[in-house]
A and B are shown apart, each in its own frame.
Chain A
Amino acid sequence: MKKIIIRTLALLLVSISFTTVWAGETQLNANQILQKVDDVINAPKDQDLKVKLILTDKKGKEKIREMSMLQIGSDKRLVKFLSPAAQKGIAFLSLPDDVMYLYLPAFKKIRRIASHVKNTKFAGTDFTYEDMEAVRYSDKYIPEFVKEEGEHFILHLTPKEGVKTDYSKLIMWIRTDNFYLEKMEHYNKGNKLFKIMIRDKIEKVDGYWIAKETEMNDLKAKHKTKMIIEEVKLDSSIPAKIFTKRNLEK
């Protein structure tokens, strides 16, 4: 009897140890997956994109915006509106450490903007300033592996302590073949799903995976914005000094 108890306890101990190790392995795998997602998204040394935005309201009415988007590495991005006329020239620069600038041509002024704007819509689209930042998710979020479903890994992300974000949780659908982020659910601070981003037309351009179309759906407003990449240049040696205030109003 004593032996049985000892064996049972030993088995239990081993099971617990395996469970702990397995859990650790899964956590590690989640981190690895997220690292790969970041690596794939930010694989090009630089990106020079011309983008068309189609805003669709709940009645199906569409509005068109056009912008240019430059990115270097994973933490510097410069966005300039090309149309419509009322927004032409508006430019947004995102730099590391939450440093962001906005150029408003009507005021001829470059304005430093604080992180409170992150949760606001970027020029009327369903993308917020936070969505428009160049970012590595692994720097800001703790990933948790949920499951592998069909051709996707599913990760559950929560913000790291001290990170300024308006999202309480992100759930990612990541392609298992190339680690490209295909779908992402955004949860607000009340832990309620309020936006879904879906990427489509994922193609290899110059050896890098790129989604030619990204759609952001605001579930509450029943409004969506489709971002279509019309022109793309990768690794075109964009100088780092482009990502300064000097270029915001040019």
Chain B
Amino acid sequence: MKIINLIMLIAILIISGFSLLYAESGINFSGYFQTDNRALLKGDHTFSWHEYRLDLQLEANPSENTHFYSEFWFRTIGNSKIQKSSDLSDNETIAFSNLYLKEAYLDIYGFLLKDLDIRLGRQRITWGTADKLNPTDNLNSYDLEDMWDFGRHLSSDGLKATYYLGDYELSAVYIPKFAPAVLPGGEWATALSPSFDLPDGLMLRNYSDKIIMPENNLKENSIIGTKFSGIFFNYDLSTSYVYGIDDLPLINKAKFSPVDAFGTIDISAEMIYPKMQIVGFDLAGALGNIGIWAESAIYFPEKIMLSTDLSELGMGIQESIALDDEPYIKYVFGGDYTFTNGIYVNAQYLHGFIHERGNDNLEDYLMFGLEKKFFEDKIKIMPLNGGLEIKDFDDFKENYAVIFMPEITYYPYDNIELLLGAHIIYGTESSTFGKMNDSDDIYVKAKVSF
């Protein structure tokens, strides 16, 4: 209760403070409040998501060539974790809440050179031309907290400098401190993890792991990136390079400990974040009236060995390759079109999803969308949003998943949105999304912008 009150107090103070500042010095504040409630379609309709989010954005221009922006999330999220009577006096257990600084940066326009802009602070750097699924967008770590919010990333504390020369621009980014990706929780917690194949006769009782973060110094944490872009032959083209760290952890050590004589074991694992270099290319433009885009990224990972300690089972220590240093390519291409009757369609083909690494592990996805607005744009219907996951073309029947995400949005007044939708998956257990076969849900969201 105390924390909720504290957050509410901070929010009120900030809003009051912003109002005063706004009146005094032209500071703008805006944002939105959104509720998001989901329940599973199957069984007893268990709540699968429960979030109340207050987004506050604060903007100011301290001087002629500077701009400050910040964005906060105040949230209550998740379901109650009450287990015992003492939990009833702990509001954090009853309803978890948090305050999250999404972005806070200062822009300086024309810094030292009139065509050089810099952005300093916590920032989201969006690279790539594709729709939400961007293989070249590797500077900010993924935020996979909500798997249905494709393309969400964390922001990074860093410096971005962009030099503009006519239709061309050259960006350089330096992020001194690595932040790991936020992994999905709840129903999705295991969906992105590779399956652990145990030797015949062994049964897993407990699994535990330890994350080894990069050493806390500039050398091990730093991420750098550069990008050159411009218009060539009426197409927007860019090429980029990133020297960074894979934001999803990889197991490099596993120890098998026997529990009994019947083959029951415990596994304790160690996970690390491999270094990687990425060379990216993207384009956007039009073919006739159709909008098109394409993006590809060549990943050059460091080689990571997996050491499996089976010595307590009398089989010694086995070494295998967890991640080969062979380069692999992820790519996406797609297009969109609006028909004269107002129907908008969008489709893209993706090779290599967020969590997939190495040439042999990249799957194919066809994502599609269709939307139409009715009644003077008061209602937007997206009946055919979704995708098709193809794990193995040769054995399609056993290796696929179909995802449907129909949604209807009602805009009763300016700044108000009411959404009703569903996430429906049909597929085989071997596919990433197919594992979530039983997690179909329906959701209701409400959003007010201010």
Interface residues of A (CB under 8 A from B): 57-58, 63-64, 84-86, 88, 97-99, 107-109, 111-117, 119-121, 124, 164, 166, 188-189, 221, 223, 241, 244-246, 250
CB distance from B30 to the nearest CB of A (A): 6
A188 — which chain B residues lie within 8 A by C-beta?
Answer: 340
Is A84 a contact of B338 with CB atoms below 8 Å? Answer: no
Is A164 a contact of B289 with CB atoms below 8 Å? Answer: yes
Is B449 a contact of A117 with CB atoms below 8 Å? Answer: no
B17 contacts the other chain (CB 8 A): no
Interface string of B287-307 (1 = CB under 8 A from A): 001111100000000000000
A246 — which chain B residues lie within 8 A by C-beta?
Answer: 117, 162, 164, 169
Complex CA gap A164/B377 in Å reads 25
Is B414 a contact of A86 with CB atoms below 8 Å? Answer: yes
Is B164 a contact of A115 with CB atoms below 8 Å? Answer: no
B338 — which chain A residues lie within 8 A by C-beta?
Answer: 116-117, 119-120
B342 — which chain A residues lie within 8 A by C-beta?
Answer: 120
B369 contacts the other chain (CB 8 A): no
B286 — which chain A residues lie within 8 A by C-beta?
Answer: 98, 114-115
Known A-B contacts A63-B414, A84-B415, A119-B338; the reply to A113 vs B117 at CB < 8 A is no
Is A244 a contact of B164 with CB atoms below 8 Å? Answer: yes
A107 — which chain B residues lie within 8 A by C-beta?
Answer: 126
B337 contacts the other chain (CB 8 A): yes
CB distance from B374 to the nearest CB of A (A): 11
Is B377 a contact of A108 with CB atoms below 8 Å? Answer: no
Closest chain B residue to A188, Cβ basis: B340
Is B30 a contact of A85 with CB atoms below 8 Å? Answer: yes
Complex CA gap A85/B414 in Å reads 8
Complex CA gap A221/B373 in Å reads 13
A84 — which chain B residues lie within 8 A by C-beta?
Answer: 414-415, 449
B336 — which chain A residues lie within 8 A by C-beta?
Answer: 114, 116
B308 contacts the other chain (CB 8 A): no
B284 — which chain A residues lie within 8 A by C-beta?
Answer: 111-112
Is B449 a contact of A116 with CB atoms below 8 Å? Answer: no
B109 contacts the other chain (CB 8 A): yes
Complex CA gap A112/B376 in Å reads 26
Residue from A58, A188, A245 having most chain B Cβ neighbours under 10 A: A245
B109 — which chain A residues lie within 8 A by C-beta?
Answer: 250
Is B449 a contact of A85 with CB atoms below 8 Å? Answer: yes
Closest chain B residue to A245, Cβ basis: B169
Residue from A58, A112, A113, A164 having most chain B Cβ neighbours under 10 A: A112
Is A114 a contact of B126 with CB atoms below 8 Å? Answer: no
Known A-B contacts A107-B126, A119-B338, A166-B340; the reply to A114 vs B414 at CB < 8 A is no
| 11 intermolecular pairs with C-beta atoms under 8 Å apart | A85-B450, A86-B415, A114-B286, A114-B289, A114-B290, A114-B291, A115-B289, A117-B291, A120-B342, A166-B340, A241-B164
CB distance from A60 to the nearest CB of B (A): 13
Complex CA gap A189/B286 in Å reads 22
Is B234 a contact of A99 with CB atoms below 8 Å? Answer: yes
Known A-B contacts A114-B290, A246-B117; the reply to A121 vs B126 at CB < 8 A is no
B51 — which chain A residues lie within 8 A by C-beta?
Answer: none
Complex CA gap A159/B117 in Å reads 42
B236 contacts the other chain (CB 8 A): yes
CB distance from B134 to the nearest CB of A (A): 9
B:264-313 near A, CB below 8 Å: 284-286, 289-293
CB distance from A197 to the nearest CB of B (A): 18
Q: A112-B285, A244-B164 are in contact. List 20 more A-B contacts (CB 8 A).
A: A58-B376, A64-B414, A84-B449, A85-B30, A85-B449, A86-B415, A86-B417, A98-B286, A114-B286, A114-B337, A116-B290, A116-B338, A117-B291, A119-B340, A121-B377, A164-B289, A241-B164, A246-B117, A246-B169, A250-B107
Known A-B contacts A85-B450, A246-B117; the reply to A114 vs B340 at CB < 8 A is no
Complex CA gap A63/B412 in Å reads 12
Closest chain A residue to B155, Cβ basis: A108
Is A108 a contact of B126 with CB atoms below 8 Å? Answer: yes
Complex CA gap A111/B449 in Å reads 22
Known A-B contacts A63-B414, A84-B449, A85-B30; the reply to A112 vs B340 at CB < 8 A is no
Complex CA gap A18/B415 in Å reads 63
Complex CA gap A97/B286 in Å reads 11
B67 contacts the other chain (CB 8 A): yes
Closest chain A residue to B291, Cβ basis: A114
CB distance from A157 to the nearest CB of B (A): 19
Complex CA gap A219/B124 in Å reads 43
B136 contacts the other chain (CB 8 A): no
Task: Select one of A97, A112, A117, A250 contacting B236, CB under 8 A.
Answer: A112
Complex CA gap A121/B342 in Å reads 9
Complex CA gap A121/B344 in Å reads 12
B344 — which chain A residues lie within 8 A by C-beta?
Answer: 120
Known A-B contacts A84-B449, A85-B30; the reply to A189 vs B340 at CB < 8 A is yes
Interface string of B339-379 (1 = CB under 8 A from A): 01010100000000000000000000000000000001100
Complex CA gap A189/B340 in Å reads 9
Task: Select one of A63, A113, A164 contacting B291, CB under 8 A.
Answer: A113
Task: Select one of B129, B376, B414 contacting A57, CB under 8 A.
Answer: B376
Closest chain A residue to B414, Cβ basis: A84
Task: Select one of B117, B126, B291 contacting A112, CB under 8 A.
Answer: B291
B290 — which chain A residues lie within 8 A by C-beta?
Answer: 114, 116
CB distance from A200 to the nearest CB of B (A): 23
Closest chain A residue to B335, Cβ basis: A114
Complex CA gap A223/B376 in Å reads 8
Task: Select one of B162, B234, B293, B449 contacting A86, CB under 8 A.
Answer: B449
CB distance from B138 to the nearest CB of A (A): 15
The 3 closest A-B CB pairs, nearest first, are A114-B291, A114-B286, A112-B284
B285 — which chain A residues lie within 8 A by C-beta?
Answer: 112, 114
CB distance from B118 to the nearest CB of A (A): 13
Complex CA gap A88/B450 in Å reads 10
CB distance from B418 to the nearest CB of A (A): 13
B162 — which chain A residues lie within 8 A by C-beta?
Answer: 246
B450 — which chain A residues lie within 8 A by C-beta?
Answer: 85
